[in-house]
Amino acid sequence: EVTRADATRGASSGRRVRIAHLYPELLNLYGDSGNILVLRKRLEWRGLGADVMEVHVDDTPSFSNVDLVFIGGGTDREQRIVCEKLLGVRNELAAFVEDGGVLAAVCGGYQLLGESYAMGDEKLPGLSLVDLRTERGTPRLIGNVAVKSRICPHVIVGYENHGGRTYLGDGVEPLGRVAYGNGNDGTSGFEGCLYKNVVGTYVHGPLLPKNPGVADYLLSRALERRYGDGSLEPLDDTEELAANQAMYDRMMSGDIET
Ligand code: GLN
């Protein structure tokens, strides 16, 4: 087991993960950019390399040398800007996804993955990377959320706030089942999506600090794709899992105002 005190600098085993963080200044609701810190630290604590490339609005991103793309959540206004930008590189992003590239998308970013999303009365085209669509509903779905997923041993906990209702196509697996809160649409019991190495979710908070299993799932898939070796040494996640458990317990006991 690697302890934090052992944290090594650099990439002792030579493996590294190249992360593209899309539009951090626009898509950072509820601390979504904190997910990048977690990915970086969990690599560094294991002596693995982490390269983080920020993609800004005037950049034309290339995904050819990228292992993991992260898209956070944003307001409708920000989503519209981002979607226009990403439609310009839609085919490159689709090729990345089809080739097993890892893509993690939260809330507004998750909604962009589908064929369309509705803003008010307006229906905007999405990136059509995953067979899903997002419609508008009232009320907004706001509050804490807990999800049981096959991708990690602990319950995924966090916070959701979305007007959109996301419906998955037949072949698309949900990230998991809602144990508390609303998830994709408030009625299906599904939360998020899994497609190839894409993980879409409504979970903010940010997602990864209290859900280390999700972080390791993403890193492992990225390492597997690039090196054929997705193995990760276990870390001491006592603090992360205590925070996860505390939030879950409070949800279950009805102790949190949602
Ligand atoms: N603007 C989107 C909605 O309300 C997503 C918001 C978010 O990322 N939290 O559905």
The tens digit of pLDDT for each residue in 126-142 reads 999 999 999 999 999 99
Q: Ligand 1 in contact with 108 (CB < 6 A)? A: yes
Q: Is the CB of 166 under 6 A from ligand 1?
A: no
Question: Quick one: CA torsion of 48, 213, 232, 130, rounded to 10 degrees?
Answer: -80
Residue of 111, 116, 142, 203 to test ligand 1 pocket, by largest number of atoms within 8 Å of CB? 111
Beta carbons within 10 angstroms of residue 135's beta carbon: 14
Instruction: Answer whether 109 contacts ligand 1 (Cβ < 6 A).
Output: no
Any atom of ligand 1 within 6 Å of the Cβ of 27:
no
204 CA distance to ligand 1 middle (Å): 10
Determine how many CB atoms are found less than 10 A away from the CB of residue 91: 10
Which of 35, 70, 106, 162 is the pocket-test mutation for ligand 1 (most atoms within 8 Å of CB)? 162
State the distance from the centre of ligand 1 to the C-alpha of 106, rounded, in angstroms: 9
β-strand pairing of 193-195 with 198-201: antiparallel
Distances (CA, A) of 48 to 9, 54, 55, 65, 79: 8, 19, 22, 17, 33
* Residues near 172 by beta carbon (within 8 Å), at least 6 away in sequence: 130, 131, 132, 193, 194, 195
Torsion region of 168: left, alpha or beta (phi above 0 gives left; psi -120 to 50 gives alpha)? beta
pLDDT digits (tens, 9 = 90+) for 4-55: 544 444 444 599 999 999 999 999 998 899 999 999 999 999 999 999 999 9
- Is 140 annotated for ligand binding? yes
Query: Is 96:66 a contact under the CB 8 Å cutoff?
Result: yes
Looking at residue 10, its pLDDT comes to 41
**Residue 231 identity (one-letter amino acid):** S
Active site residue 107: yes
User: Ligand 1 centroid to 228 CA: how many Å?
Assistant: 36
Ligand 1 contacts CB of residue 79 (under 6 A): yes
CB 248 within 8 Å of CB 156: no
pLDDT at 11: 42
**Bridge-based pairing state of the strands 190-191 and 156-168:** unpaired
Q: What's the rounded Cα separation, in Å, for the pair 13 and 64?
A: 22
**Is-contact 212 35, C-beta < 8 A?**
no
- For the segment 163-198, what is each residue's pLDDT rounded down to a tens digit? 999 999 999 999 999 999 999 999 999 999 999 999
> Which one of the listed residues 21, 83, 107, 154 is annotated catalytic?
107
Dump pLDDT digits (tens) for 193-250: 999 999 999 999 999 999 999 999 999 999 999 999 999 999 999 999 999 999 999 9
pLDDT at res. 254: 82
Indicate if ligand 1 lies below 6 Å from the C-beta of 72. no
Pick the residue whose CA is nearest to atom 5 on ligand 1: 108
* Residue among 21, 154, 162, 204 flagged as catalytic: 204
Query: Position 2: which residue type?
Result: V
**Distance between CA atoms of 233 and 1, rounded to whole angstroms?**
6
With a 6 Å cutoff on the Cβ, whether 197 touches ligand 1 is no
